[in-house]
Amino acid sequence: MPETSIVIRTFNEALFLADLLEGIRNQTYQDYEIIVVDSGSFDGTVEIAGRFGVELVEIAGRDFTFGFSLNRGIVASEGRFLVLVSAHTTPVDREWLGTLVEPLRDPDVAMTYGRQMGEARSKFSERQDFLRTFGEERQVIQPPNFFANNANSAVRRDLWEKQPFDEGLPGLEDAAWAKYWMDRGYQVVYEPRAGIHHIHTETWPQVEHRYFREAVAAHAIGIRGPRHVSGEIARETWRFVADVGLALFKERDPRLLLEIARFRWAKGRGTARGLLDHSEAQIVADHQGFFFKDDVTAVVVTGPGHASHTMVTLPEMKPGDVVVRVEYVGVCGTDLELFRGTLGYFETGESTYPITPGHEVSGTVVRTGPNARTTVQIGDRIVIECIQGCGACEMCDSGEPIRCDDRKELGVMGLNGGYAKHIVVAGAHVHRIPDGLDLQRAALCEPLAVAVKGRRRLISALGPGRHHIGVLGAGSLGQLLALVLAREGHRVSLVDQRKSRLEAATRALPESEVSTDPASLWKCDAIAEVTGHSGVLEALLGGVGVGRTVLLLGFPYGKLDLNPERLVAQDLSLLGSVGSGPADFQAALEILPSLSLDEFLKSTFPLEAYEEAWTTHERGKALKVMLDVSGESEI
């Protein structure tokens, strides 16, 4: 086991990372391991880390905060000393690493940080600030100067285990950690002999934002606030004058004057904005050290045929997550497949027990991570995407998360679903519900999004114009597809063996044609098979007319006795469609208020009556069965 673990945070650091890793490799002190925590680099950073053989921890970009990334790297490490260094730095000499960790051998020392210096690529004023901030004399930092800097620091693992870095702060997680342990009698040591070159290549807006978020963090943890603004302005004014003097009389380079003015303006303005922004500071303070670990009631399937209504502990929130109070969740055949163990994902190992079902969810946001609040706020009424991709790959960028190799599916694969009072989900996968749309109807968004995607694929194959489309299976998904198609002016015919479903379809779509005879659809321009039954599909492919298009929207079909010669000889086009993407969800939300959905809202059960709800669904006693999870509506 190495004595020291070096944790490096990266995002697109290809320009600097190799120099840092080479500098570490050349250190005299060699008892270390390196962990690189990357948050979605696409410039070759990950490949560089691989060439150096370091351990790589990858996190989603939406979850990045300084504290979160450091904590994840430390969790993956083993050393009793933890060195934290910025990716855009290089050691000044071969003694940097050993010198930085040496003070931690003193049991009274919690943290050390080393000297930082600029170099030729650094902005002139920042080089001067490094010289002013990081002097040549060793110091034991004394309150109220709670300063430390994780661009070049080391901490003790035993103390980190008691107090990890704050994942809610937008900066100054280092100062907050130092303050915590200094308040408890430990020392923070500044060691100037442990030096690095620190290179920032920021734009001016990025400079301002860096100082803004650091000031917000300082305000939130109580080490600076609005009363310090005048002092900060005075200090930046004095430093502006000093920098101008150095540029003119020492460097003899008047070309630096504009850069000096822009740096001091960006730094001063960002700092003042952050210290004066009460709302931002309060939001950050609300998130400080927050981990949503309350026990909540949920339905948990622990194995084939075994489910219970029990208490579970929610997972830890990540910075990009939100906590949702579930209001309604639709019952789907997939939930029953999970319960029975017949879902295909179990055979492939993609889904495992225990799992909480439920992927047709509406709810209310009750907590947001610090990175999620730019898109969603506490109190927002939302729906949640079922298929959730990584958000960084080509497939996700193209709006097809079903093709993402790292996807998860809410309540199906890798993510606990909505049969629970509260759930934790990524904020990137929630959509606000339009005003005027109630939460029960909104829970139909997920199956409607599936229908929207199926319609998109079908009409793309058929081409423009109005078509006669048959829907084989008038259950909830079949009727949603029929509603979407009819809304666009297509002629729709539905077939189902259950007359109650056909009666419901007639009430929702009086202009539609209904029948119990599948052969009545054979001459339609296209047929959507929505039952998912292999025998029905075989009959369809054997009877449909020449040149027709068949959409497979039902799932799953199991084993089929399929004759490809029949498909070719009849000139059939066979399409598959499964799940939905973000654009389909948004489209579904936009059209939901215009659809006649009363037939879908007639059967609702409380969460604890999930078994009765499953029985009602399985026996076809209602077009749609829902669970009222919050228990705040009438049952």
Rounded Cα–Cα distance for residues 632 and 635 (Å): 9
pLDDT in tens, 545-596: 899 999 999 776 667 777 788 788 889 899 999 999 999 999 999 999 999 9
> Residue 621 CB: number of other CB atoms within 10 A?
12
Both tokens of 468, joined, read: 């006669």
Enumerate residues 6+ apart whose C-beta is below 8 A from 113: 148, 149, 150, 152, 153, 154, 174, 188, 189, 190, 191
Point out the residues of the chain with pLDDT beneath 50. Answer: 287-293, 633-635
In the block, which residue shows the tokens 């959905």? 597
pLDDT at residue number 633: 43
Q: What is the pLDDT of residue 280?
A: 60
Length of the chain counted residue by residue: 635
Question: What is the rounded CA–CA span in Å between residue 173 and residue 213?
Answer: 11
pLDDT in tens, 263-301: 999 999 999 999 998 666 555 555 443 333 457 899 999
Tokens of 436: 């005027």
Q: Cα-flanking dihedrals φ and ψ of residue 587, to 5°? A: -65, -40
Q: Which helix (H) or strand (E) holds 364?
A: strand 360-368
Q: What is the value of pTM for the model shown?
A: 0.72
Measured distance CA(122)–CA(131) in Å, rounded: 13
Buried b (16+ CB within 10 A) or exposed e, 286-325: ebbebebeeebbbbbbeeeeebeeeebebeebbbbbbbbb
pLDDT of residue 281: 55
Distance CA(557)–CA(542), nearest Å, equals: 16
Q: What does the pLDDT read at residue 288?
A: 42
